[in-house]
Chain A
Amino acid sequence: MSDLIPGPETWNAATLVPLPVLVPLFAAGLTLALRRYANVQRTISVTALTITTLASAALMFFADAGPVVVDVGGWAAPVGVNLVADRLSALMLTVSGVMLLCVLLYSLGQGVPEGDDLDGGSRVGETIPVAIFHPTYLVLAAGVANAFLTGDLFNLYVGFEILLAASAILLTLGGTAERIRAGSMYVIVTLMSSLVFLAAIALVYAATGTVNMAQLAERLPEIDPTVRTALQLLLLLAFGIKAAVFPLSFWLPDSYPTAPAPVTAVFAGLLTKIGVYAMLRTQVLLFPDDPAVDRLLMVVALLTMVIGIFGAVAQNDVKRLLSFTLVSHIGFMVFGVALASQAGTAAAIFYVVHHISVQTALFLVVGLVEFRGGSTSLDRLGGLARLAPGLAVLFFVPALNLAGIPPLSGFLGKVGLLTEGVRDGSGLAWALVIGSVVTSLLTLYAVVKAWNKAFWQDAPDDVPEDVRLPRGMVLPAGALIAFGLAITVAAGPLYGYAERAAESSMDGTTYVDAVFPDGSDRGTGKSDEITDDATGDDS
């Protein structure tokens, strides 16, 4: 038995790789078993996510030297499933870990997990039994980590399904009429995208005989280019629905705003970015050069940006407004992916990191606004600048960051994208550069409109004078905003990391060599860590 659990002397960076998946899953089981003890549940969730975040941050450090690969179950690729932590996935893991932790603390402060009033008390007396909040949230975290870490297309599907099932439960938490309405739409759309993805996997397997990403990177160039493009488009379709790019974004602004603020914040910050991550990974690693598809992606990016932001400008409800800006800004990331150059990919990676922190922070602050002002409609809010001046600052900083005001991180990401677009020089790239600038200005208009109306217009009569914002909600929201500012301060090293991540992703051989250290794509089916003696003993 002692062979099964390696001693400390054999621990290395690879030991950390499964932790972001396993720790939350294990904690989810524990919290489900201990659902009667709210305090224990809280402690377990916070501890699990802290461990996950620390492990991810450590992985970010180790992966900078080269991808860290783990063969799950001791079967080496391509026979077994493997987890690969390279710079890109470790970076995404770390940022999502910080964000998941902040949102968890915020929701603890809000009291949703204990079945308090929904929607910040706007519907008094309506409580929900939510002992399942913690397990579901942790399962979501595990699914996200699995999607980021996997080196296998089918395991990516499994990761997606884990987080989708969890997100559907979080969205319909409590089962009120409004949430069932929004939830059924969300569930159907996401299920369809999963089925498209699964069909794409079946076709990929039929065409190449493998679902291992490293092996696919070697085999896909060998197959018929037409078939390859068809596979690529099918995968992009599936990821496009998840990432909410136009015209596949119709479902998002309708489903997100109904959920409780922390849930919306997680969804907005994270779920669409996983679609973007999957797009980035497949585009860069599996289908590196196909100019026609890149042009298609550019058109899609432009439409996503512009139409999304028009939707935001037309909105009168802060949550819906933010949902539309979310759709719009996915366009920036797709722009970076479509540029298909190293600098473009680096800018896209940096933009994803920035956007996760800023969009989540905005939704958390809107949760606070709703708590304080009793509504998210811009017609019913007002006067909050006098009643809650701190809140005004909390809203203002990420809002400006979203619009890309210098010197904040949004500006840096956009500058990266714009310079690369100008350098690309094609007509479409120029159109996108202009589109990006217009979108940024309209974003500024939309968030400033929200800021003016919520904080500066005359207060309506029914805004209570003496509501104190719970410190448990304010502090995590503030921490996340501070994290966003830290991204700005550390933009130099972070951008450098993103560039190195783009470099190693673009250069597929790094990834493939890490997965197949012996250089053969056949693989032995045996992991390096298992010696012949050990397997001999077992049989």
Chain B
Amino acid sequence: MTVLQNTPSAVLVLAIGVLFGTGVYLLLERPLTRILLGFILISNAVNLMLLVAGGRAGASPIVGNAPQDEPMADPLAQAMTLTAIVITLALTAFILALAYRSWQIHGHDEVADDVEDKRVARAAAANAPAYTDADAEETGQTLDEEAAAVHDETVGDEDEERAR
């Protein structure tokens, strides 16, 4: 039996790297749509990984279809990729719906801050041990005011949080 060469093709490996890199970059953004794009890129990278895991391309993996001495491609890797694609499709649709609903409610689709983070940040700002404040004279702001301002990315959510 002839066996497929299983050294992966450099082009595919490079493509996986690029997709992963750009995907992670997009994931670190705030808008849900960009996160979605990042998710799509990474999932394509992972699908390519699955494909590469099956070895190099060969004859179509149907018994009797390939010439006797030509190795067949690995069908299992392709089957798994196909399953993964379908699952990704469904989840992509779900994130799209989430982003759309977020846009409906807030007028933007940015991922909001963790409530716990905000609470901790506010408590920290309130109790901040302001020993020294190097730039108080330049900016005219105390350390507490600066600390409060730094984490205040979601102005207007305070009331909602208080209601909880």
Contact = CB atoms under 8 A, between A and B. Distances in A.
A158 B111 CA distance: 27
Contact of B46 (A165, A168, A199): A199
B101 interface: yes
Given A205-B53, A211-B80, 7 more contacts: A168-B94, A175-B101, A177-B105, A180-B98, A184-B32, A188-B39, A253-B116
B160 A178 contact: yes
B106 to A, nearest CB: 7
B52 interface: yes
A198 B94 contact: no
A5 interface: no
Nearest to B92: A191
> 8 closest pairs, A vs B, by CB?
A206-B53, A202-B49, A205-B53, A202-B50, A181-B112, A202-B53, A254-B114, A161-B87
Contact of B105 (A157, A180, A188): A180
A165 B91 CA distance: 7
Interface string B48-63: 0110111000000000
Contacts, number: 86
A198 B85 CA distance: 11
Contacts of A195: 39, 42-43, 46
B143 interface: no
Contacts of B164: 317, 377
Interface string A172-185: 10010110110111
A201 interface: yes
Contacts of B105: 175, 177, 180
Nearest to B120: A314
A311 to B, nearest CB: 8
Interface residues of B, number: 35
Interface of B: 6, 27, 32, 35, 39, 42-43, 46, 49-50, 52-54, 76-77, 80, 83-84, 87, 90-91, 94-95, 98, 101-102, 105-106, 111-112, 114-116, 160, 164
Nearest to B6: A206
A187 B111 contact: no
Given A195-B42, A206-B53, A254-B116, A183 B98 contact: yes
Nearest to B32: A184
Contacts of B106: 177
Nearest to B49: A202
Contact of B35 (A161, A183, A188): A188
A154 interface: yes
B54 A205 contact: yes
A203 interface: yes
B42 to A, nearest CB: 5
Contacts of A191: 39, 91, 95
A187 B101 CA distance: 14
A172 B115 contact: no
Contacts of A175: 101, 105
B90 A198 contact: no
Interface residues of A, number: 35
Contacts of B160: 177-178
Contacts of B52: 202, 206
A77 to B, nearest CB: 13
B79 to A, nearest CB: 9
A154 B94 contact: no
A202 B98 CA distance: 29
11 contacts: A154-B80, A161-B87, A172-B98, A181-B111, A187-B94, A188-B27, A192-B27, A195-B42, A205-B53, A254-B116, A317-B164
A80 to B, nearest CB: 11
- Majority DSSP secondary structure for residues of A touching B: helix
Interface of A: 154, 157-158, 161, 165, 168-169, 172, 175, 177-178, 180-181, 183-185, 187-188, 191-192, 195, 198-199, 201-203, 205-206, 211, 250, 253-254, 317, 320, 377
A180 B101 contact: yes
B48 to A, nearest CB: 9
Contacts of A202: 46, 49-50, 52-53
Contacts of B39: 188, 191, 195
A361 B149 CA distance: 41
B22 to A, nearest CB: 14
Contacts of A172: 98, 101
Contacts of A203: 49, 53
A187 B43 contact: no
A501 to B, nearest CB: 30
Nearest to A177: B105
A254 B113 CA distance: 10
Nearest to A153: B80
B50 A198 contact: yes
A254 B53 contact: no
B114 A187 contact: no
A314 to B, nearest CB: 9
Given A198-B46, A253-B116, A158 B53 contact: no
A192 B6 CA distance: 28
A484 B50 CA distance: 43
A180 B77 contact: no
A136 to B, nearest CB: 12
A161 B92 CA distance: 13
Contact of A165 (B80, B94, B112): B94
Contact of B115 (A154, A180, A198, A254): A254
Chain A CB within 10 A, most for which of B43, B52, B84: B84
B91 A201 contact: no
A44 B116 CA distance: 39
A188 B112 CA distance: 13
A25 to B, nearest CB: 15
Nearest to B87: A161
